[in-house]
Structure 1
Amino acid sequence: MDKNLLGNNVIAQIGILVHDIEKTSQVYAEFFGMMKPEWSLTDAVDKAKTEYKSEPTEARAKLAFFDMGSLQLELIEPDEHPSTWREHLNEHGEGPHHIAFFIKGMEEKVKLLELNGMALTQKGEYTGGRYAYMDTFKELKVMVELLENDN
């Protein structure tokens, strides 16, 4: 395997799958002594261009973010449409789903990871950037999310 596939080793985010974002975000807020963040809904497929296993999907998720200094904690409550979130929640239950890294050169990074046996599972766009989930579960015991912002 190539060394330092991502070009950095700073974890930007930890994503946790949940069944009830309202309840879980309240528990996290109380635990950390923080305000409970409002959740937001991911964009629809026409804007997000979401693909799961190389096919367009209507999948959406409720997201709540806790900014924890240099790290962001993301709670994810997926809908029932096919997605990496739904599949992982169904198979493994609530808990950690991914660690995310900011990268530059999304297409090149995805190809490099694929050459190293880590398949692209899901990708999409958000306002100001794009994301890709790579199937690193076998190797790393968690998925890796690549985040590339436009600015």
Structure 2
Amino acid sequence: MLGTNVIAQIGILVHDIDTVSQAYADFFGVEKPQWNWTDTVDVAQTEFEGVSSEARSKLAFFDMGSLQLELIEPDQHPSTWRNHLNEHGEGPHHIAFIINGMKDKVTLMESKNMRLVQKGEYTGGRYAYMDTFKDLKIMLELLENDK
């Protein structure tokens, strides 16, 4: 359906990105990555449940060979990150795939009852979180990088 079966990223929600990123760094014997804020809504054009949202998160990334581990500490604004953390606590939030043709993939997935939950832009591309819990038991993130 996506044109790929390679998982590019696993996203994990946390309450304290500094503490958890240090724990992962210690566990893997690597340097603790610096975290960065996601862009503001005017740049990211963030939409949650079809409505503009000022939601932001602190993000830290661990590159683990072919897979990236993303730690996410959301702010208090409405978002998939905040809702999931409030409802389920810390832990896995999504698996991500790098795709081409974001609009077409979102349309295709929505036709299969996998609805778009949140979308936005980042430097160099865009993302979309799709609700695939009914069938796949996890949120699925689509990442499309500019060419």
Q: TM-score, normalised by structure 1?
A: 0.97
Q: Residues of 2 paired with 1:20 and 1:142: CA distance? A: 22
Deviation at 1:141, TM superposition (A): 1.4
- What residue identity is the alignment partner of 1:26? Q
Deviation at 1:59, TM superposition (A): 0.1
Aligned partner of 1:23 in structure 2 is 19
Aligned partner of 1:43 in structure 2 is 39
Q: Residues of 2 paired with 1:23 and 1:30: CA distance? A: 11
Aligned partner of 1:148 in structure 2 is 144
Q: Residues of 2 paired with 1:110 and 1:91: CA distance? A: 25
Aligned partner of 1:76 in structure 2 is 72
Where structure 2 has 5 or more consecutive residues not aligned to the other structure, the ranges are none
Q: Residues of 1 paired with 2:72 and 2:86: CA distance? A: 13
Deviation at 1:25, TM superposition (A): 0.1
Matched-pair identity in %: 73
Q: Residues of 2 paired with 1:147 and 1:128: CA distance? A: 10
Matches within 5 A, 1:101-112: 101-112=97-108
Q: Residues of 1 paired with 2:125 and 2:30: CA distance? A: 27
SS of the residue corresponding to residue 25 of structure 1 reads: helix
Q: TM-score, normalised by structure 2?
A: 0.99
1:55 partnered with 2:54: no
Q: Please list every run of at least 4 consecutive aligned residues from structure 1 whose deviation after the TM superposition is greater than 4 angstroms.
A: none
Deviation at 1:30, TM superposition (A): 0.2
Where structure 1 has 5 or more consecutive residues not aligned to the other structure, the ranges are none
Q: Residues of 2 paired with 1:95 and 1:139: CA distance? A: 19
> Could you give the per-residue CA deviations for residues 76-109 of structure 1, whole angstroms, max 9, x where no partner exists?
0000000000000001110000000000000000
- Count residues with an aligned counterpart: 147
Q: Residues of 2 paired with 1:140 and 1:76: CA distance? A: 21
Alignment RMSD, CA only?
0.4
Deviation at 1:69, TM superposition (A): 0.2
SS of the residue corresponding to residue 112 of structure 1 reads: helix
